[in-house]
Amino acid sequence: MKTVALLLLVVVAAWASPQGYGAPTSGGQDYQSGPAVYNFQWDVNDSPSSNFYGQNEDRDGDNTQGSYYVQLPGNRQLKVDYTVDEFGFHPVVTYGSGGQGSGGQGYQ
């Protein structure tokens, strides 16, 4: 009798357990996608901590172009101008003399 009661208890416990997470159903919304188009720019110009760096980027479909820069020790700056297309990432790295802020200053 104890075996039957234990077996019945196990069956009831298994049947009462949560059935798990079900996949969400579609909300009926259909989002159209198109070519990516965006641009952004940001800069950090903090004299007390000597932090000067930033980036800008423009994208229109499969073509992207942009640059980023950082001030290095010794008052030198590193700048990377880049393009991205169907063939990959194409960077052009330049080093320039000092100047704080805006990555466009002091490059050769």
**In the chain, what's the furthest Cα-to-Cα distance?**
92
**pLDDT band at residue 13 under the 50/70/90 scheme:** confident
23-45 tens-digit pLDDT: 766 667 777 889 999 999 999 99
Residues recorded for the chain = 108
DSSP secondary structure letter of residue 5: H
33-79 tens-digit pLDDT: 899 999 999 999 999 998 999 999 999 999 999 999 999 988 899 99
CA–CA distance, 44 with 53 (Å, rounded to integer): 5
Give me the residue label for tokens 């010794």. Answer: 74
Report if pTM > 0.85: no
- Token pair in block for residue 22: 């079900």
- Token pair in block for residue 84: 């991205």
- Token pair in block for residue 71: 């001030």
